[in-house]
Amino acid sequence: MKFKPGQKVVFLKEVGGGVVQSINEGGQYLVEDADGFTQSYLESQLAPVLGEDYKIGDDDIAIIKEEASKTRVSHTSHREYDKKSSRGFEVWEIDLHIEEIVDSHAALSNAEILKKQMNAFKIFFNKARSQSIRKMVVIHGVGEGVLKYEVRNFLSKIDGIEYYDSDYVDYGKGATTIEVHSIH
């Protein structure tokens, strides 16, 4: 079994997540959502929450470094890094659609795709913060809302930032804008 009781998960076919309560004999997971309702899910309908505080271990660092060398998200190749906001400061964008991150994703599971997207986002976010970028736009798409949930869950743990839905005219419903109020 992939998930254990007490483990936080997000739903791949709907917005939100919950905590695994138990696993029944048929291999279905009973998950209690944020509203206190318990529902049954197949393993293929769930993805793990990557951690409450998103601390990165040594193994994760090695994977992130390897993926950073392969990813198209870099200052020189990403077409949107040079955008200027109406306030005159630099705005960085990243498109987290999996097609923008890897050349081929056909063999990847939904959980592997989500992990690659979150790794690309963390590399982008940390690089932007290290270069004192005060505004970022994360294009996560609409889909089932899992990636948006994970991005915002990560951001909710960070002080000195504000995040909100990006301008509908420019991005539709599928992007989050991040404003950094204090540079660390």
For residues 100 and 169, membership in a common domain is answered with: yes
Do 74 and 132 reside in the same domain of the chain?
yes
Asked whether residue 17 is assigned to any structural domain, the reply reads yes
CATH number, position 118: 3.30.1370.110
- Shared domain check, 175 and 129: yes
* Same domain as 80, residue 13: no
Residue recorded with tokens 């540079």:
183
Task: Say which amino acid occupies 5.
Answer: P
Q: Which stretches within the chain are classed as H helix? A: 58-70, 98-101, 110-130, 146-155, 168-171
| pLDDT (0 to 100) of residue 73 | 39
Quick check: is 152 in a domain? Answer: yes
Domain annotation covers residue 53: no
pLDDT at position 168 is 82
Do 168 and 143 fall into the same domain?
yes
Number of domains in the chain: 2
Are 123 and 64 in the same domain?
yes
Same domain, 25 and 88: no
The DSSP line for 109-161 is -HHHHHHHHHHHHHHHHHHHHHTT--EEEEE--STTSHHHHHHHHHHTT-TTE
Same-domain pairing of 83 and 131 = yes
Helix (H, G, I), strand (E, B) or coil at 32: strand
164 and 77, same structural domain? yes
Instruction: Give me the pLDDT at residue 48, please.
Output: 75
Question: What does the pLDDT profile of the chain (184 residues) look like in tens digits?
Answer: 578 888 888 777 677 778 999 988 888 899 998 778 888 888 878 877 754 444 444 554 555 455 544 444 333 333 344 444 444 468 899 999 988 888 888 888 888 999 999 999 999 998 888 888 899 999 998 888 899 999 999 999 998 999 999 988 888 888 999 999 865 5
Where in the sequence is the domain holding 85, given as residue range(s)?
Answer: 58-180
User: Do 12 and 89 belong to one domain?
Assistant: no
| CATH code assigned at 21 | 2.30.30
In a domain, 1, yes or no: no
How far is Cα 46 from Cα 2, in angstroms, rounded to an integer? Answer: 10
Asked whether the whole model's pTM tops 0.85, one would answer: no
Per-residue confidence (pLDDT) for residue 129, from 0 to 100: 87
